[in-house]
Structure 1
Amino acid sequence: MNIEDHNGTTVLHRPNREEPPRNLWTLLIGRPLATADAPHQTIGKLIGLAVFASDALSSTAYATQEILAILIVIGPAAYGLVFPISLVIVGLLAIVTLSYEQTIHAYPNGGGAYIVSRDNLGLLPAKIAAAAILTDYILTVAVSISSGVAQIISAYPQFYPYRVFLAVGLVFFIMMVNLRGVRESGVVFAIPTYFFVVMMFITIIVGLVRYFTGNLGMVVDPPALELLYAPQALTLFLLLRAFSNGTTALTGIEAISDGIPAFKEPRSRNAGITLIWMSSILGSMVLSVSFLAGHIQAVPSEVETVISQIARTVFDGRGVLYLMVISATTIILIMAANTSFADFPRLSAITAADGLLPRQLTYRGSRLVFSRGIAVLALLASLLIVVFQASVTRLIPLYAIGVFISFTLSQSGMARRWWKIGHLKEKEELKERGSVLRYQPGWQVKMVLNGLGALMTFFVMIIFAVTKFTDGAWVVLIIIPLVVILFTVIQSHYQSVAAKLSLEHYGSPVPRVPRNRVLLPIGGVHRGSLAALRYARTLTDDITAVHVSINPEETERIRKKWEQWGDGVRLVIIESSYRRFMEPLLDYIEDIYRRRQPNEVITIIVPQFVSKKRWTNLLHTKTAEALQHELMYYPDIVVTNVPYLVD
């Protein structure tokens, strides 16, 4: 034990020798990790790609299908437009990737769009960014899990009636894996991620070889065409709607910038390289899948996915390679939820530390992850899945608006940051909450790049909001402002509490309480009540025992016993005509409270039976807890219980 002396105050440091207990929970999520183990729980680039890129990579499975679902209303001409639209989307992907690569190096502690907006645009834009990206993380889980279940149904249609139960079960499975820690969940998911990448590239390469050798035909026995809208001619609005559907491929780009602290040192470099890998793989797969889907004339359907149609066309049926592709796609879609489980708790913790969400979200669990945030995400995503019946088509209109709001704010913030850097003198530093600014030559080019990216993603956001408004996008456009209002209310509460608890201008410490009055509720005279009386004697001589009379005969026995054992302490008997206990007692306490003297504290001491057999504690009333709940808003009233072990 170390002893220090600070200005006459003795400070003792005692090492903790606690050994966490082993129980069913530790069996499920692993043994508790010490805080000192945190540096060993970080991950490298290969595992980081599995943890943070699964969301982005999984969008390959549905981005092309969602483009086709809109364009198919114009007939066969739709297949000639899928690839050009995908080219534009991949160009946008390149711009956003370059912007976030800069963000990763500028803000190595993570936080993404929220931190960038907070430091460069102000608190309101930061709240909007946080609300948008947190909402999107919830939608990511719902969409990716629902899409994974859709892949299963493509191969096994008999499971269609059970899709909601399957989806919710998978959400809680991924929750449990993530509660084991970032490193362990990354190792668990690494092999399936790379299995998906390998199988997709095998499918793409074989498909392209067969195309260029003239050996790739149309899809055989496509599913029945189900038009979302009536047949119509090609219009600009229709093109924009298809484009907005396809931009769901960009979801997940934000993830790495939010989760930089999970990477090994040098964190920013490792995170930046992982981002480039992810975007390169994603871009090549989106273009290839769109090209092949257009050639085989795949039909967008809830019964069979476009990926399934491409795979069975490329591999001539539902053989082993087809099943491997479907299995890999299903797994990556389910794992895409893992990206949100890695980032939602981290961003929640950052915003909670700033007082925008409950402080409990900043606490790490036994496995050094933000376990409360993980649980909240699982519950909210499951609720969405149940409400929308695990339908990807119904969930997609809600998806991606939040992403592009955060993209726009993040890149606007970075453009503002470069402007501030350009106005610094050489060797001058400007410290902000999230980073340190230093003059950098060539800042103009970077500012223009980020400004252009912000402009493009803003237009995409507007396109998405307009084209998807009637399909359900209005829901998100209402939810995000509501979340911002929630942030503001929580922040206002914390600021009010901090102001009332502040020691600034407080003066000298409050002197000791000059007077303490004790009320001792008793239901009987026994060893427990006498133990409480002995404790009350250590506080004051002004003690009043209180008994609520429900049974007159029992009350008389208590009165006689108290005269014998009460050591002269006065006893107040409250008559309860309607056999109620709490209400007459509270009325008496409030009467005493109103007539209390200045600087008088009223202490209510409640005897409590405690049994070593925990289940038997359910057989005893919790009077102290009930009084604490009822009297917590009364200043100068203290409720305490005196436990008495009965076995």
Structure 2
Amino acid sequence: MLGKFKRILIGRPMKSAELEAEKLGRLKALAILSSDALSSVAYGTEQILLVLMVAGFAALWYSVPISIAVLGLLVILIISYRQTIFAYPTGGGAYIVAKDNIGKAPSLIAGGSLLVDYILTVAVSSSAGTDAITSAFPVLHDHRVLIALVMIVFLTIMNLRGVTESASVLAVPIYLFVIAIFVLIITGVIRYFTGGIEAAAPQFDSTVSNVSLFLLLKAFSSGCSALTGVEAVSNAIPNFRKPAEKNAAATLLMMGIILGAMFIGITLLAYWYGIHPSATETVISQIARMTFGHGTLYYIIQGVTALILFLAANTAYSAFPLLAFMLAKDKYMPHMFMVRGDRLGFSNGIIILSVLSALLVIVFKGDTENLIPLYAVGVFIPFTLSQLGMMIRWIRLKPSNWGLKLTINTVGMLTTLSITLIFIFTKFSQVWVIFIFLPLVVYIFYKIYTHYENTAEQLRIDIKVDKPEVKGNTIIIPVAGITRVVMNTISYAKTLSPNVLAVYVGFDDEAIHKMEQKWEEWNPGVRLIVLKSRYRSILGPLRRFIDTVEWKTSATDHITVLIPQFVTHHWWETILHNQTSLLMRAYLINYKDVVVATVPYHLNK
């Protein structure tokens, strides 16, 4: 039944040979990998305005030059990451660049930051999408956490179905959002210049006393949240069709042009219209309402905005599993992240990402504003390390035109480093947790790596010297009575070794006496060892008996514990029986160097 339900949810299993067909073309990749960056226009301008409003309405004039500065940073990042794509066509982005050029610790900081960033991407996107819905339908405001969780579950199922299928479905609303925003911008500009709306743009006033450099830097850093997701294309190059690096570079350029045009357009409209942030209505909603009124177009804008904010999380679903795969391949994350699922995606990465992001939504109660600063600073750390790594690469290899390439990455590194420091100094109260969490993540990476190295060291053999040791086999069968299950197990045990012992643990003299009488009468050709337990424990006496046998026979015999177990005809019938055999197996498998095996006996009705 569970298997059928799984097939309905995620589809039929796919052959490994079908992997190439799962690769993305430019248009689908633009939708899937750029959804995070493109969606940030829905809250990037708003984050700038939220900071500037502290100095009053007149200070909103500064949103225009700040947005132009953000746009300049976007250009630098696009050029820089295009260089990274061609230099490292296998993907991995900042993690691979830092590992190759800076060292192990910086690469783990970059990798850890990106993993955290992708988790926050899902949480922020689902929360921001919920905000767009509740702006149009305020009655749903109290259910925002539930709405966000439902969308995370939906995205999880879609991504478990495979990259190509999810791209085909999710690309439509993403392109609808791009079209809708450009329609909004063009219509808004025309109506503003033709006097079709009442606008109250704040004018530049040099006497505004509350605007300090600190406030402007804080607003600038908030606006830089619109740049999160830019690195996703360089991380997910293996998802592209061949030639992967050329398709990835073209996708990155298209994303930069679309993102820049939408971001500056929304900022200008917000300034011209005299928009100021509201706790109950987003900036996009206010612009759409002033442009189209509360008509059909307004609700279309709100609907596609909510969709893109939800679907922005899909960037993380594409990039997180790939990055987790690379870290797992280098032994810094559990090997389960290297396993492809039925639909050829890294299913474990998708599921873990969903669970962690859902927990964040619950903990923060879907409050986007509390998540965005942590989300943004987490991505600018890898930005900086990636640029630094590329600088070192150009100096080390000195390829053709390396001076120009070095200059580009140097400007990028200095800029992103400045943004990172601005975030830290202006929003320390909101981002301080990253100074605890990020070192903890890196420490966990090292512990996982140490475990894998220790395991490999203990399992490694010298094939020229080490040979299997031939020993006998002493088999121990725990029995609770005389049944077909026990008979089946004894029958199997006799095919393995002549040294078979049945062990019965009794709680009182009467039960022990009855068992001895029945066993003698049955006479299966196996000696019965009877142990008495004063504290009604089976595992304790059994463990001590195994210790005794091990002490006497360890030099000559392996010890095998065969556990009899019947399997019920229907799955639900299992709960009607105690699970002593399962507990015994779980206990012994972690106990010592004894072989533990279960001999099943299937009931027919």
TM range (shorter): over 0.9
- Point out the more displaced range, 542-551 or 34-43: 542-551
Q: Is the 8 A contact 2:57 2:276 kept in 1?
A: no
Residue 277 (structure 1) aligned with residue 254 (structure 2): yes
Structure 1 equivalent of residue 423 of structure 2: 464
**Inter-partner Cα distance in structure 2 for 1:106 and 1:192:** 33
The 5 Å alignment of 1:161-200 reads: 161-200=142-181
**Inter-partner Cα distance in structure 2 for 1:249 and 1:299:** 18
Structure 1 equivalent of residue 240 of structure 2: 263
The 5 Å alignment of 1:564-575 reads: 564-575=521-532
TM-score w.r.t. the length of structure 2 is: 0.95
**Inter-partner Cα distance in structure 2 for 1:603 and 1:188:** 53
Instruction: Report the Cα offset of residue 475 of structure 1.
Output: 1.3
Q: Is the 8 A contact 1:219 1:310 kept in 2?
A: no
The 5 Å alignment of 1:26-41 reads: 26-41=7-22
Residues 254-297 of structure 1 show CA distances to partners (whole Å, capped at 9, x for unaligned) of 11111111111111111111100001110111111111111111
Structure 2 equivalent of residue 378 of structure 1: 354
Structure 1 equivalent of residue 458 of structure 2: 500
Structure with more helix by fraction: 2
Residue 478 (structure 1) aligned with residue 459 (structure 2): no
**Inter-partner Cα distance in structure 1 for 2:270 and 2:17:** 51
Residues 133-170 of structure 1 show CA distances to partners (whole Å, capped at 9, x for unaligned) of 11011111111111111111111111111111111111
Query: Any gaps of 5 or more consecutive residues in structure 2?
Result: 202-207
Q: Is the 8 A contact 2:560 2:596 kept in 1?
A: yes
The 5 Å alignment of 1:146-165 reads: 146-165=127-146
- Point out the more displaced range, 74-83 or 550-559: 550-559
Structure 2 equivalent of residue 628 of structure 1: 585
TM-score w.r.t. the length of structure 1 is: 0.89
Residue 244 (structure 1) aligned with residue 221 (structure 2): yes
Residue 367 (structure 1) aligned with residue 343 (structure 2): yes
**Inter-partner Cα distance in structure 1 for 2:120 and 2:138:** 25
Structure 2 equivalent of residue 522 of structure 1: 479
Residues 529-580 of structure 1 show CA distances to partners (whole Å, capped at 9, x for unaligned) of 2222222223322222110112544433321222233344322111122333
The 5 Å alignment of 1:349-364 reads: 349-364=325-340
Q: Is the 8 A contact 1:30 1:180 kept in 2?
A: yes
Q: Is the 8 A contact 1:203 1:314 kept in 2?
A: yes
Q: Is the 8 A contact 1:364 1:371 kept in 2?
A: yes
The 5 Å alignment of 1:4-153 reads: 23-153=4-134
**Inter-partner Cα distance in structure 2 for 1:634 and 1:490:** 23
**Inter-partner Cα distance in structure 2 for 1:21 and 1:586:** 37
Residue from 273, 276, 280 that aligns with 1:296: 273
SS of corresponding position for 2:558: strand
- Point out the more displaced range, 533-542 or 242-251: 533-542
**Inter-partner Cα distance in structure 2 for 1:395 and 1:278:** 24
Q: Is the 8 A contact 1:83 1:290 kept in 2?
A: yes
Aligned length: 598
Q: Is the 8 A contact 2:563 2:585 kept in 1?
A: no
**Inter-partner Cα distance in structure 2 for 1:539 and 1:172:** 49
**Structure 2 vs 1, CA of residues 22 and 573 (structure 1 numbering), >3 Å: closer, same or farther?**
closer
Q: Is the 8 A contact 2:84 2:390 kept in 1?
A: yes
Instruction: Report the Cα offset of residue 380 of structure 1.
Output: 0.8
Q: Is the 8 A contact 1:133 1:406 kept in 2?
A: yes
Instruction: Report the Cα offset of residue 175 of structure 1.
Output: 0.9
Residues 447-477 of structure 1 show CA distances to partners (whole Å, capped at 9, x for unaligned) of 121122111101110111111111x201122
Structure 2 equivalent of residue 436 of structure 1: none
Q: Is the 8 A contact 1:218 1:313 kept in 2?
A: no
**Inter-partner Cα distance in structure 2 for 1:296 and 1:347:** 42
**Inter-partner Cα distance in structure 2 for 1:630 and 1:340:** 39
**Inter-partner Cα distance in structure 1 for 2:588 and 2:4:** 36
SS of corresponding position for 1:165: helix
Residue 582 (structure 1) aligned with residue 539 (structure 2): yes
Structure 2 equivalent of residue 640 of structure 1: 597
**Inter-partner Cα distance in structure 2 for 1:381 and 1:70:** 26
Q: Is the 8 A contact 2:123 2:358 kept in 1?
A: yes
Q: Aligned-pair RMSD on alpha carbons?
A: 1.9
Residue type of the alignment partner of 1:637:
V
Q: Is the 8 A contact 1:60 1:249 kept in 2?
A: yes
Q: Is the 8 A contact 2:189 2:269 kept in 1?
A: yes
**Inter-partner Cα distance in structure 2 for 1:646 and 1:159:** 52
Q: Is the 8 A contact 1:73 1:232 kept in 2?
A: no
Instruction: Report the Cα offset of residue 26 of structure 1.
Output: 0.8
Residue type of the alignment partner of 1:235:
S
Structure 2 equivalent of residue 215 of structure 1: 196
Structure 2 equivalent of residue 9 of structure 1: none
Residues 56-101 of structure 1 show CA distances to partners (whole Å, capped at 9, x for unaligned) of 0000000110000000111122221001000011101111111111
Residue 531 (structure 1) aligned with residue 507 (structure 2): no
Q: Sequence identity, in percent?
A: 43
Q: Is the 8 A contact 1:627 1:639 kept in 2?
A: no
Query: Any gaps of 5 or more consecutive residues in structure 1?
Result: 1-19, 221-230, 423-439
